[in-house]
Amino acid sequence: MYSAIKYIYDLTKENFIMKKCFIIVFVIFSSLYSCNHDKSKSSNMMKELNEKSVNNPNIFVVKTLLFSKDKLPISADLYEVNGLKPTILLCHQAGYSRGEYKDTAIKLNYLGYSCLAIDQRSGNEINDIKNETAIRAKDKGLPTDYLDAKQDIEAAIDYLYSENGNQPIVLVGSSYSASLVLIIGKNNPKVKMVAAFSPGEYLKGVNVTKTIKNYDKPLFVTSSKNEVIKVVDLLKEVNTDNLTHFKPSFKGIHGSRALWESTDGNDQYWKVFQSFLNDYK
């Protein structure tokens, strides 16, 4: 290629105008070559990344409907990887929707887990995804307090348990739903382990601390740094044998937003959370 370029240059060296035109063409050609080379390099890097992921996952996001105990349709997104049965149920925090897990669920796919993110009737909107279950509940005049969402999570557990071949699932909660999953998961045989991001005494008429006394299932709990003391008090009567409590030394953030890429220290949250999932897989 370069010998051909040199030959053309020699032909034009006696003509200043042609020589100038040649230089311009050469610069453009070189830029295009460099650009294509970089794209090829980038493509190879992406290929290598995919090969290192869980067998090049084919991810499908499927909208489905569940039915709660009072027959209110529950909207949910199924994140399925390579045909693996869904094993993780994702529950959002106050004022949010299933959109809280839009990116987190895909990250879990790449770690080898299929999962289901639901809209509970207590919530609103996040990441441009409206809480359709909450909209239906309001249209029907149904109550939408935190405790009212308990039946939505229970119905989703039944659905996911069935989809998982009647094998126990992983239950994940954020903020108020973190408290709910702690309570629901304790004695539910369809739940094998629980992850609670920023749980607290958010439920009217329910003492979460007493309710989760002697918790004996694998349990992952974390929060922001300024919530640690309250969370420690919440867990004071929990069996510590199967407890993984990640207490960030950095600021952190409330709820499962700890796993968002926009959160400082999210890699540290992910490291401990992934280790917990792998230990009890």
Mean pLDDT by 10 residues, the chain (281 residues): 40 40 37 39 35 57 81 94 92 98 95 96 97 97 97 96 96 98 98 98 97 96 98 96 97 98 98 95 77
Query: Is 174 domain-assigned?
Result: yes
Q: State the first-to-last Cα distance of the chain, in angstroms, to the nearest integer.
A: 55
Distance, in Å, from the CA atom of 157 to the CA atom of 81, rounded to the nearest integer, reads 19
In a domain, 8, yes or no: no
Strands 59-67 and 86-90: unpaired
CA distance 37 to 176: 51
Print the domain residue range for 183. Answer: 59-279
Q: CA 85, 223, 253 angle in degrees (round to 5)?
A: 100
Here the CATH number for the domain that contains residue 274 is 3.40.50.1820
Q: Is 62 left (phi over 0), alpha (psi -120 to 50) or beta?
A: beta
48 domain residue, yes or no: no
Round to whole Å and give the CA distance between 211 and 234.
10
Please indicate, yes or no, if residue 96 is contained in any of the structural domains: yes
* pLDDT score, position 55: 53
- Which among 112, 98, 91 has a CA at the least distance from the CA of 281? 112
pLDDT at residue 64, as a whole number: 77
Q: Is residue 7 part of a domain?
A: no
Name every residue whose Cβ is closer than 8 Å to that of residue 180 and which is 6 or more positions away in sequence.
91, 146, 147, 149, 150, 153, 173, 203
Q: Is residue 170 part of a domain?
A: yes
What confidence score (pLDDT) does residue 3 get?
43
**Residue 112 resides in a domain:** yes
Look at residue 26 and tell me if it is in a domain. Answer: no
User: For the chain, what is the domain count?
Assistant: 1
CA distance 220 to 229: 16
